[in-house]
Structure 1
Amino acid sequence: MSQSPSPVEIRQWLTGHIAALLEVAPQDIDPDTPLDALGVTSMEEVIITADLEARYGVALPLADMRRHPTIEALSTHITGHTAAHGAGQAPPTPAPVPQADGTPAHESGTDGISSDTLPR
């Protein structure tokens, strides 16, 4: 996806997806009702977060489902997250942590492990 999805797009997708998981009609889902009150279980939260990542490239921690407990709140949160991090883009790779001698671990060829540090 080349641009960040809108809150409306995410809300519509979440509503349809949750309705399918709960086996109810999408029009029976109120986006302002807490997910647990709709009957979403923790297993379904895992499914939703995995599907959100697959669809929008958003790695959403399960804790965010609790911090943003409605479809409306979650849609707004995800939109802000994709705008800040770029939709479908992986987060930047952190710089390697230097070893005690100051060389990055990847340059030593041993990732910081030497026979001197291993137990005998």
Structure 2
Amino acid sequence: MAKVVTADEAQKWLIDEIAQRLGIEPTEVPPEQYFDELDLDSTTALIIAGEMESWLGFELGTTALWYHPTIKALSEHIAEECEQRATAA
């Protein structure tokens, strides 16, 4: 079952996960920075995306990172997606 997640919750989850993978503090991960500037290799990015889908309870579209290339933008997209799924249920 998909959960309803706010943009702030999604952003915190992403920042915490990225910081953990990079071995840095969450405060060192700027929400406005582009994903391709975060020193994540493609394997790590795929792992994070898979874990996020498990956490959310639904699959993110394959173009989600392309159209929402920052943590902040993706978090807002996730919140909208969650809201749409909740109202459609």
Residue 62 to residue 18, structure 1, CA distance change in 2 (3 Å): farther
Determine the structure 2 residue equivalent to 1:15: 15
Q: Is the 8 A contact 1:45 1:65 kept in 2?
A: no
**Gapped regions of structure 2 (runs ≥ 5):** none
Deviation at 1:17, TM superposition (A): 0.3
Identity %: 30
User: What is the CA–CA distance in structure 2 between the aligned matches of 1:3 and 1:58, rounded to whole Å?
Assistant: 9
Q: Is the 8 A contact 1:45 1:62 kept in 2?
A: no
User: What is the CA–CA distance in structure 2 between the aligned matches of 1:3 and 1:47, rounded to whole Å?
Assistant: 20
Normalising to structure 2: TM-score of the pair?
A: 0.86
Normalising to structure 1: TM-score of the pair?
A: 0.65
Deviation at 1:2, TM superposition (A): 7.5
Deviation at 1:67, TM superposition (A): 1.4
**Gapped regions of structure 1 (runs ≥ 5):** 87-91, 93-120
Determine the structure 1 residue equivalent to 2:24: 24
RMSD between superposed Cα atoms in Å? 2.1
- Decide which structure has the larger Cα Rg and report it: 1
Deviation at 1:3, TM superposition (A): 5.1
**In the alignment, residue 74 of structure 1 is paired with which amino acid?**
L
Determine the structure 2 residue equivalent to 1:102: none
User: What is the CA–CA distance in structure 2 between the aligned matches of 1:28 and 1:38, rounded to whole Å?
Assistant: 11
User: What is the CA–CA distance in structure 2 between the aligned matches of 1:84 and 1:45, rounded to whole Å?
Assistant: 25
Structure having greater relative contact order (Cα 8 Å, sep ≥ 6): 2
Deviation at 1:45, TM superposition (A): 2.0
User: What is the CA–CA distance in structure 2 between the aligned matches of 1:59 and 1:15, rounded to whole Å?
Assistant: 19
Determine the structure 2 residue equivalent to 1:79: 79
